[in-house]
């Protein structure tokens, strides 16, 4: 039997039909009320037909005041359940699992949704060309409110037919901001020691578990490290994984990086250790970390996402028990049936359109020493994939001929239109002045 086609039993009792997962990719397809649409049904129906054992949705937000981008689906007590039911039905029609990724952007909140973002502390995001406003530190009562919101979204996901949830605690989103000593400078019980910095994630996990019960799958996406000086480290990540395993987490997805440091796409910036390692093995950026983590948290299923493109490597690591689930993102924006091909023994490398996408020539490419040029290239790359997701969601085929500049301008134009049409208009929130926590 092909290792990729073996079912996987999860601690809660549920099972995945195979070892290939579609990683979370934000869709930007919500309507002006921040609800799911027919486009979600079309898109996830196609991915469900593609044969993956698990589909993770893109970010679903817990609070409409704070979005990662306009077009995020939001669940915060304002309806929209009928559309979620249709989305879940389409996304599970192939007999796969469909898990909702639950998220709060914290300081990675676009100005198009709010110019008053919140974070663990009032630490500004570097780079990103001013697309995100500086955050203020959350009040303790707001932290408890956000934890309740995660639980609420999980309960609605379960009620509307999603078969699991994932807590987004990677890539510099709010939970990852709490974990990072660079972003979290609090001196109360939510900052300082690792135990305090991990409190937000662990309390979210506890509240979500209470909301969905012991038999419903809960996953978390966690950075193997932030790949920044003074950031969340590999050793800390391993300890947090241990705590999650002790509490019965069903699947830990390992990724890495933040908006300041796009390691999730293989850009390791100035991290010499990572560069050496990624030269050795030009794909599956987080595999070495996963191997160490496997030893630390035996028994908790592990998914690794980021750069997997060679089927023989995927089979090797699954057969060796180093990784339980292979996460795939970008290739599934251009070929939705890849999981079927892989589980039926396919050996062709997966497509890598990202390799040909650059805004500037040579030194101004993604490895540019100029941070804003790297940011622009990263934005163009992601915009190119956003556009392919839109094409798929409208029943069309991907547009391979799209250039990087075209993708970037098209993306910003579309997002501005979505932001204008949103019914909800953010207002500054009347809370006591921000403390410098
Ligand atoms: C268009 C796009 C949107 C993404 N949106 C999300 C998201 O909503 N949540 C998340 O955790 N990761 C998101 N990611 C990161 C992917 O889940 C994945 O970690 C990354 O693409 C690396 O995997 P790959 O090399 O197979 O593409 C996104 C990536 C892309 C390309």
Q: Which of 81-95, 122-136, 172-186 has the lowest mean pLDDT?
A: 122-136
Q: How confident is the model over 207-224, as a mean pLDDT?
A: 97
Q: What value, to the nearest 5°, has the Cα angle with vertex 57 and ends 52 and 58?
A: 130
For the structural domain made of 17-351, what CATH number should be given?
3.20.20.70
CB within 6 Å of ligand 1 — which residues?
23-26, 58-59, 101, 168, 170-171, 221, 255, 264, 305-308, 328-330, 382, 385-386
Distance CA 218, CA 252 (A): 9
pLDDT interval class at 285 (50, 70, 90)? confident
The token duo for 63 is 């609070």
pLDDT in tens, 67-85: 999 999 999 999 999 999 9
* DSSP helix/strand/coil, 54: strand
Distance CA 52, CA 55 (A): 7
pLDDT in tens, 366-411: 455 566 777 788 889 999 999 999 999 999 999 999 999 899 999 9
Q: Which of 110-114, 249-253, 336-340 has the lowest mean pLDDT?
A: 110-114
Ligand 1 nearest atom to the CA of residue 166, by list position: 11
Residue ranges covered by each domain of the chain: 17-351
* DSSP helix/strand/coil, 319: helix
The token duo for 95 is 């007999």
CA 228 to mean position of chain CA atoms: 19
Distance CA 168, CA 188 (A): 23
* pLDDT for res 238: 95
Q: How confident is the model over 24-28, as a mean pLDDT?
A: 98
DSSP H or E stretch at residue 276: helix 272-280
Task: Give 437 Cα–ligand 1 centroid separation in angstroms.
Answer: 31
pLDDT in tens, 183-201: 999 999 999 999 999 999 9
The token duo for 137 is 């530190």
């Amino acid at each position: 039997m092909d290792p990729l086609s073996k079912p996987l039993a999860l601690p809660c009792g549920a099972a995945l039909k195979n070892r290939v997962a579609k990683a979370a990719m934000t869709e930007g397809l919500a309507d002006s009320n921040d609800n799911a649409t027919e486009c979600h049904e079309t898109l996830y129906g196609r991915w469900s037909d593609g044969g993956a054992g698990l589909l993770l949705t893109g970010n679903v937000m817990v609070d409409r005041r704070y979005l990662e981008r306009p077009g995020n689906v939001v669940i915060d007590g304002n309806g929209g359940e009928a559309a979620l039911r249709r989305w879940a039905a389409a996304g599970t029609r192939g007999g796969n699992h469909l898990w909702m990724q639950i998220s709060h952007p914290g300081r990675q909140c676009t100005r198009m949704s709010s110019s008053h973002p919140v974070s663990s502390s009032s630490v500004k995001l570097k780079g990103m060309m001013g697309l995100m406003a500086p955050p203020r530190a959350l009040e303790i009562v707001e932290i408890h409110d956000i934890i309740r919101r995660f639980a609420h979204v999980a309960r609605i996901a379960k009620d509307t037919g999603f078969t699991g949830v994932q807590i987004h605690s990677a890539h510099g989103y709010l939970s990852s901001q709490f974990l990072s000593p660079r972003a979290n400078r609090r001196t109360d019980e939510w900052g300082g020691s690792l135990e305090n910095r991990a409190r937000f994630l662990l309390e979210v996990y506890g509240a979500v578990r209470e909301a969905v019960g012991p038999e419903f799958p809960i996953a978390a996406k966690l950075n193997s490290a932030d790949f920044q000086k003074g950031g969340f480290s590999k050793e800390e990540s391993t300890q947090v994984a241990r705590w999650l395993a002790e509490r019965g987490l069903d699947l830990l997805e390992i990724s890495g990086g933040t908006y300041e440091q796009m390691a999730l796409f293989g850009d390791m910036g100035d991290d010499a250790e990572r560069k050496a390692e990624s030269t050795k093995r030009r794909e599956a950026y987080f595999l070495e970390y996963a191997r160490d983590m496997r030893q630390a948290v035996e028994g908790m299923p592990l998914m690794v996402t980021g750069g997997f493109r060679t089927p023989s490597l995927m089979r090797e690591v699954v057969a060796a028990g180093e990784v339980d689930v292979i996460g795939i993102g970008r290739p599934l924006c251009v070929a939705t049936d890849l999981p079927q091909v892989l589980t039926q023994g396919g050996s062709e490398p997966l497509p890598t359109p990202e390799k040909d996408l650059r805004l500037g020539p040579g030194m101004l490419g993604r490895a540019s020493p100029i941070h804003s040029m790297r940011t622009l290239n990263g934005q163009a790359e992601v915009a190119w994939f956003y556009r392919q997701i839109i094409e798929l969601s409208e029943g069309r085929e991907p547009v391979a001929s799209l250039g990087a500049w075209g993708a970037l301008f098209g993306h910003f134009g579309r997002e501005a239109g979505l932001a204008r049409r949103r019914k909800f208009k953010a207002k500054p929130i009347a809370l006591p002045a921000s403390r410098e926590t």
